[in-house]
Amino acid sequence: MPLVDFGLKDRRALVVAASRGLGRACAEALIAEGARVYIAARDPKAIEETGLAINAAGWSARDVSKPGDPEALVEAAAERLGGLDILVVNAGGPPPGTFQSTDVDSWEKGFHLTLMSAVRLVHAALPHLKRSGQGRIIFITSIAVRQPIPNIVISNSLRGGVTGLAKTLSAELAPDGITVNCLAPNNILTDRIRQLAAARGGNVEDQLKLMADASPMKRFGKTEEFAATCVFLCSRQAGYVSGQTLGVDGGVLAKARRLEAEGKRIVHLEIGEPDFATPDNIVESAISAMQNGYTHYTPASGIFEAREAVAQFVAGMLKVDVDPNDVVLVPGSKNVLLFTLLACIEPGDEVILPDPGYPAYASQVNFIGGVPKTVTLREETGFRMDLDELASLVSPKTRMLIINTPQNPTGGVLTAEDVRFVSELAHKHDLLVVSDEIYSQLVYGFHHVSPLSEPGMRERTVLMDGLSKSYAMTGWRLGYAVAPRALAQKLDQLMINSSSCAAAFTQIAAIEALGSPESEHAVARMVKVFERRRDLVVDGINAIPGMRCAKPQGAFYAFPNIEGTGFDERELADGLLAEAGVAVLPGTAFGAAGKGFIRLAYTQSEDELKLGLDRIREFVTARKE
């Protein structure tokens, strides 16, 4: 007999989304306490396998985002169990994205999946729970309801709606003896966490360790620990606990709460976004375009005049002929890589990419079933690629090479020799080169070079660029590809079947951005400011004991070595935020080769940068003393 009797023997529970992860763990824990549990999920095979494995009282495959399915599920469970005492709702997980990158359809789907599924399930279950006399409703939400998470605006918003529903129901249903609570997990080790670790690239176990270290407890939570909290809330001992959102997060929010309570101002050196306003002439051209009717669909690849502007700009910059029909405009340059991978890479194909590097590279390769192979960028070579290592990585399975110059996160650049070697390697092994040149105009005393300019590389290079960084247009979402004609046609087809087109008025603004002297002067002014900030940051970092920083030749990032400080990169990033009020990113956020480094973005004013450097110096010096 268990040391604590939670009074759950023969209690009747319905657990939704229970084929794996947290839902399954809660179902298993309730069964272990003697409850009779009915489970559901969308995948018929998965829910049957789980039902048999955990000895559930019954199961069915239902999609609770569809009207009618929640009601049918509740009635099937109640009929099988002879009523209901407990409802555990675990549905959710709408697609990621910022507010500006998500469309209304995504919001509507997320609304039905996350919020309306909860409403329908409770509506259907309520008569049964009232008859129980000791009903329990548990909503499994997310840490996002307590601390919004960047890039998941739909989840942040709708899960907040679920907690609001829970609080409201807790008061309304209290006279019926029904308690309503939420569980807000974070960093619980599930298959989903393993998928996220794999998407980072490199060794999965190494990535898991880095993710676990982000918790104050320096480990992941266990699904059984989470499920134990669910069991308690379902128990008779929790009869006076209602309207609560309990965090099962290892204390990860404690630091943020303390900073908020202190009213500490954070110096944001983690944001890879120019702090300048979009130049006025570009804004005015977009306003004029909207007033003149450019608010409708365009051809999928973009308005011809906008593609012509891109072609002329690239041709002038790289001294190479570019046909507008080889240009495809997309809503954000990341789509260039994703569409190229979808068009060219089969599961098991290898793609070589830089480490440290932009996290989306490995994530997208993993997403489509490719195999990322990393070439290390080393501090002692100015974060250039080791060309011998690069050549050694090519195998019969290699199909693509991704390069980035200037580079995120290091600010390093590739030389003409590097680009020539890449081009020769591509010819020798029949590789496609995706060249991410989003920072191409942000270089300091250096001439930008591209494989597109190398002989014979027009047929095997995809240029990936856009307006976000050079023109301070991150929220406008316009990127472009210059690709071989046959591939450009495939990218066009993917645009037709995904976004339809980039916004028409943004395309008109691109013509102004890429073709006007006023825009050119604005970029030149920004580059001068960034160069002054770069020198300020590099000099400031090199004056801090235990830190050293190579001078970036492009982009707006510094990537200092912090091995002499006595901190590892994750510990220093956490400590700077919690104790000094400075937000930076650990180097390992960009790959395993980022160990011993942090990334700072000099996208703040000089006064703000000086404040951040002073705080970093004080924090590191105090540790060394």
pLDDT digits (tens, 9 = 90+) for 571-585: 999 889 988 889 999
pLDDT of residue 262: 58
Cβ atoms 62, 70 nearer than 8 A: yes
pLDDT of residue 437: 97
Mean pLDDT (whole number) for 128-146: 87
Distance of CA 127 to CAs 30, 52, 124, Å? Answer: 22, 29, 7
CATH number of 267-272+520-624: 3.90.1150.10
Residue 613 CB contacts under 8 Å (≥ 6 apart), including other chains: 536, 537, 540, 541, 544
pLDDT greater than 50 at residue 366: yes
pLDDT of residue 29: 94
Distance of CA 515 to CAs 150, 230, 504, 507, Å? Answer: 34, 60, 17, 12
Structure-token pair, residue 262 = 């202190």
Mean pLDDT (whole number) for 5-11: 89
Cβ atoms 244, 180 nearer than 8 A: no
Please state which of the ranges 203-207, 349-353, 470-474 shows the lowest mean pLDDT: 203-207
pLDDT greater than 80 at residue 286: yes
Distance of CA 296 to CAs 286, 288, 293, 333, Å? Answer: 13, 14, 7, 21
Distance of CA 497 to CAs 270, 338, 500, 623, Å? Answer: 34, 13, 6, 54
* CA torsion, ordered 152, 157, 160, 164, to nearest 10 deg: -170
Cis preceding linkage at 356, omega within 30: yes
Please state which of the ranges 16-25, 147-156, 193-202, 430-439 shows the lowest mean pLDDT: 193-202
pLDDT of residue 98: 73
- Per the listing, tokens 């548990």 go with 138
pLDDT greater than 80 at residue 622: no
pLDDT of residue 271: 84
Report the alpha-carbon distance of residue 251 to residue 224 in Å, rounded: 17
> 280-515 domain in CATH 3.30.930.10?
no
Identify the CA nearest to 524 among candidates 441, 609, 620: 441
In the three-class reduction of DSSP (H, G, I as helix; E, B as strand; rest coil), residue 403 is classed as strand
Mean pLDDT (whole number) for 18-35: 94
pLDDT of residue 158: 86
Structure-token pair, residue 46 = 């998965």
Name the helix (H) or strand (E) containing 16: strand 12-16
pLDDT of residue 146: 66
Please state the domain extents for the chain.
Answer: 12-188+222-246, 267-272+520-624, 280-515
Q: Are β-strands 557-558 and 267-268 bridged in parallel, bridged antiparallel, or unpaired?
A: unpaired
Q: What is the pLDDT of residues 50-85, one digit of tens each?
A: 999 999 999 999 999 999 999 999 999 999 999 999
At 202, the pLDDT band (50, 70, 90 cuts) reads low
User: Can you list the pairs that 617-623 forms with residues at least 24 positions away whose Cβ atoms lie under 8 Å?
Assistant: 617/540, 617/543, 617/544, 618/580, 619/575, 619/576, 619/579, 619/580, 619/582, 620/544, 620/545, 620/546, 620/547, 620/565, 620/567, 620/572, 621/544, 621/545, 623/565, 623/566, 623/567
pLDDT of residue 430: 97
What is the chain's mean pLDDT, rounded? 90
pLDDT of residue 256: 46
| Residue with the larger pLDDT of the pair 389 and 253 | 389
Q: φ and ψ at 327, to 5 degrees?
A: -105, 135
Q: Are β-strands 479-482 and 461-466 bridged in parallel, bridged antiparallel, or unpaired?
A: antiparallel
| Residue with the larger pLDDT of the pair 411 and 93 | 411
> 12-188+222-246 domain in CATH 3.30.950.10?
no
Sign of the dihedral defined by the CA atoms of residues 537, 542, 546, 549, in that order: positive
Q: What is the pLDDT of residues 225-261, one digit of tens each?
A: 999 999 999 998 889 999 998 888 776 555 544 554 5
Cβ atoms 200, 356 nearer than 8 A: no
Q: Is 4 exposed, middle or buried (0-12, 13-18, 19+ CB in 10 A)?
A: exposed
Task: Kindly write down the DSSP assignment for every residue of 414-449, as one continuous string.
Answer: --HHHHHHHHHHHHHHT-EEEEE-TTTT-BSS----
Report the alpha-carbon distance of residue 175 to residue 182 in Å, rounded: 19
pLDDT greater than 50 at residue 314: yes
In the three-class reduction of DSSP (H, G, I as helix; E, B as strand; rest coil), residue 537 is classed as helix
Residue 235 C-alpha from the chain's centroid: 37
pLDDT of residue 9: 93
Mean pLDDT (whole number) for 99-120: 88
Mean pLDDT (whole number) for 312-320: 96
